[in-house]
Amino acid sequence: MFVGQQSIKLYYYEADIDIANRHRPTWDDQTYRLLDVVAARQLFTDDDDVFINRETVSVTVNSRGVYLALRDQGSCTTLISLAVYYYRCPAVVLSLTRFNATAAGPLLTDIRPVNGTCVTHAVSTTSATYLCTSTGSWYLYTPTGSSQCRCEAGYQPNRQLTQCIATAPGQCDCSRAFLNASVPL
């Protein structure tokens, strides 16, 4: 890649709170980290030539947010657009087990195991696991043995198995039965 006056540098700064103002974060190479140098792959002399470069860069963010900065020191390069996005697995409840929204890993092969917690009025001795893929989708729900959540005495699961609802007096208390729910894999 040609790096010189025909390039734009892309920097980032991680932060856990929104602190940006005229004085912070300070703009310097020690505060911001260099993420990439975007340079034209071709130089043109004819106005009829049209070539658009596409750059894709990935960064692992270990904080709640990130600031991006572009530094152009007089290049003849034009930045047409900048798209910033991330993947995450959405919050979901399966078989009375809640899995929180989880940021996906930055690499295509990343798989993050997430332990679930029982919904309100449900109990279990251990937690079930669901895998969050790098594309932001859940995969391979694994309740193991006694890890499946069950409603407490006096409560029973709703039809969708997303919550435990109070049992009316005289109705069957299904809380002692093990739930056998089919869950998409």
Q: What pLDDT is attached to residue 84?
A: 86
> Please, which pLDDT band fits residue 26 given cuts at 50, 70 and 90?
confident
- Could you state, in order of their start, the residue ranges of all structural domains in the chain? 7-72, 88-176
Q: What is the DSSP string of 41-88?
A: S----STT--------------SSEEEEEEEESS-S-----------E
Over residues 53-57, mean pLDDT: 80
> Please, which pLDDT band fits residue 47 given cuts at 50, 70 and 90?
low
Task: Classify 32 as helix, strand or coil.
Answer: coil
Ranges of H-type helices in 62-172: none
Distance CA 40, CA 148 (A): 55
> What's 88-176's CATH class?
mainly beta
